[in-house]
Amino acid sequence: MGCAEDVDQDVEEPEEEPAEEEASDEGESFELTIFHTNDTHGRTNMYPQLITTLNEAKEQYGEGLLLDAGDVFSGTLYFNEFSGQDALEFMNLMEYDAFVPGNHEFDLGDPDTGHQELVDFIKGAEFPVVGANMDFSGDEGLSALANEGVSFEAENGQIYDGIVLEHDGEEIGVFGLNTEDTESISSPFDVAFTNYVEAAEGMVEAFEAEGVNKIVALTHLGYDSDPSVGNDLLLAQQVEGIDVIIGGHSHTEIAPPTVVTENADGEEMDPTVIGQAGEYGQYLGVMNVSFDENGVVLEADGELLATEEREADPEAAEMLAPYTEQIEELESEGAGSSVVTELPNPRHGEGDEKSVRANETALGNLIADAQLEAALSADENTVMALQNGGGIRTSLPEGDITIGHLIEVQPFGNRLTLLEVSGEELIEAFEVSVYDAPEESGAFLQVSSGTRLTYDSSQEPGERVVSVEIDVDGSYEEIDPDETYTIATNNFTATGGDGFTVFADAYDDGRGTIVGFTDWEMLRDYMADHGEVDYETEDRIVDVAEGE
């Protein structure tokens, strides 16, 4: 699995000043408190402190709505071992009011069996799920849980476009949106994603038709993420009638909340308040919003409460213990190998000159070689293995390696897939790989030994590949556009993840086979065979523009 673009930001001040209007003399104002989380990414160990933080916040601010903006799935050994069921136990204890799936909720999608882990998560949820721009009709398991339109009596463990919650005698409309980019950065398969603006406009109209004038968008779009696929700031500016946006995806710390008071044309509009609570359960977001009798925001404030500053809730800590015990056993289990020199996983955003998403790396070479060896055991005609840079998540340290190390490097559990592609299709795939170079892209492909890619990042995207060569009997030869080659990659990339539609077309054409070897297990076996592992870069991938 790849990943989405992970942007960590701190937003210290709102982009617009809160509205300072006084409540109308004709009616009293209504005060709403929203507690919110997002992008916990398998950090189940944070829930005991998060629960303490929530309890303290309720003592200070009173009761309110509790919302989660997605990406509970993926990122840790907890998730790899328990597939979200551990997190769900704590979310049920906290009594969430609504949840919107994020892109990572679709990471375990399978072209044959669908989204069983997500189905199990939703079925076990003691809260409703919202997703107005997600079409589940093509997925047998999820479609059985999906309900169209607005529900005033939403049931737990069901999916709705929007729901109406009652708080202090007032009706609050809540609807969900997920990034359309999920189709390329995760594995949704038969789940489709529609335009977020059109979906939001439809939901505002539906709520207002039912007399609901306080509307919350629970989103996994990102605060100011790629505008081509939408974000919360654009949503606020383009869809009037949304009072509050509780967001996720960009991992942004917004404190105090942002208040948008101008639409996309620069015209004054009723305020929309935006909040997001960082990442990994490090914060509980608190938003306080005051409405007039017409449902218009009068003022808003809020804060992010740091969970690490709180003691663990005793009941939750006791619940966590058996999960952690299993994880610690897995973390400490030896993998039968050692690393001579640390194999880093560089990223531009972390101050590194090179990046696994833009350059050849020693770790990328190791992973691709492990996949090639596994592929050759299934088909001796395999000529190369390809690993998307976005699927390599952390470094391998020097010294003895554990199973925990390997799963942290490749946490998605992707399976090896063989593809039959023409040389022309392979060149097209490498054009996708280097499209954004020298900038980062999760689609950037690390390649196995015996493959050489030469490209020129100074040329126009789509015209950058200079040559693709493979080792034939000890000497490198350029691939023939008209010949057919067997290549190996993970099932995420093979079925079109990260924009590899050329591979998806081949897979859909019956030219793909999921072999079944899991990514981290291939790495474990390959490294164990070698015992002491010492890898470096070796000009498998060369950008000629760097030498100019």
pLDDT > 90? residue 19:
no
Domain positions in the chain are 31-323, 334-547
Give the tens place of pLDDT for each residue, 515-543: 768 899 899 999 999 999 999 999 999 99
Lowest mean pLDDT among 200-204, 328-332, 476-480: 328-332
Q: Render pLDDT for 380-427 as a digit per residue (tens, 0 to 9).
A: 999 999 999 999 999 999 999 999 999 999 988 788 999 999 999 999
Closest by CA to 409, choosing from 420, 401, 399, is 401
Nearest CA to 175 out of 120, 141, 220, 143 is that of 220
Condensed to tens digits (0 to 9), the pLDDT of residues 96-152 reads 999 999 999 998 998 889 999 999 999 999 999 999 999 999 999 999 999 999 999
pLDDT tens for residues 21-34? 343 344 689 999 99
Residues of the chain with pLDDT > 70: what percent? 95
Q: Tell me what pLDDT residue 160 has.
A: 98
Ranges of beta strands (E only) in 13-154 are 30-37, 65-68, 98-99, 129-130, 134-135, 146-151
- Number of other residues whose CB lies within 10 A of the CB of residue 63: 10
Q: Which helix (DSSP H) or strand (DSSP E) does residue 290 occupy? A: strand 283-291
- Helix/strand/coil for 471: strand
pLDDT at res. 517: 80
In whole numbers, what is the pLDDT of the chain averaged over residues?
93
List Cα–Cα distances, 372 to 376, 416, 489, 493, in angstroms.
6, 10, 9, 15
Give the C-alpha separation, 10 to 412, whole Å.
Answer: 27
Residue 330 pLDDT grade (very low, low, confident, very high; cuts 50, 70, 90): confident
| Cβ atoms < 10 Å from Cβ of 510 | 8
Tokens representing 396? 């391998």
Is residue 13 scored above 80 in pLDDT? no
Considering only residues 26 and 180, tell me which one the structure prediction assigns the higher pLDDT: 180
For 430, phi then psi, to 5°, come to: -70, -30
Identify the pLDDT of residue 331: 82
Rounded to two decimals, the pTM is 0.76
494 half-sphere exposure, CB direction, 13 A CA radius? 27
Q: In CATH, what number does 334-547 get?
A: 3.90.780.10
Reply yes or no: is the peptide bond before residue 461 cis, omega within 30 of 0. Answer: no
Q: Residues 177-188: what's their mean pLDDT?
A: 90
Rounded distance, CA 34 to CA 243, Å? 12
Q: How open is the CA angle 525-529-531, to the nearest 5 degrees?
A: 110
Nearest to 38 by CA among 298, 319, 249, 237: 249
Q: Quote the pLDDT of residue 27.
A: 63
Average of per-residue pLDDT across 167-194: 94
pLDDT of 275: 98
Q: Which DSSP helix (H) or strand (E) runs through 359?
A: none
Q: Do domains 31-323 and 334-547 have the same CATH topology?
A: no
Give dist(CA 362, CA 365) in Å, integer: 5
Whose tokens are 């809730």? That residue is 313
pLDDT over threshold 80, residue 15: no
pLDDT given for residue 164 in this prediction: 98
Size of the chain in residues:
548
Q: Structurally, what CATH architecture does the domain formed by 31-323 represent?
A: 4-Layer Sandwich (3.60)
For residue 359, is pLDDT > 50? yes
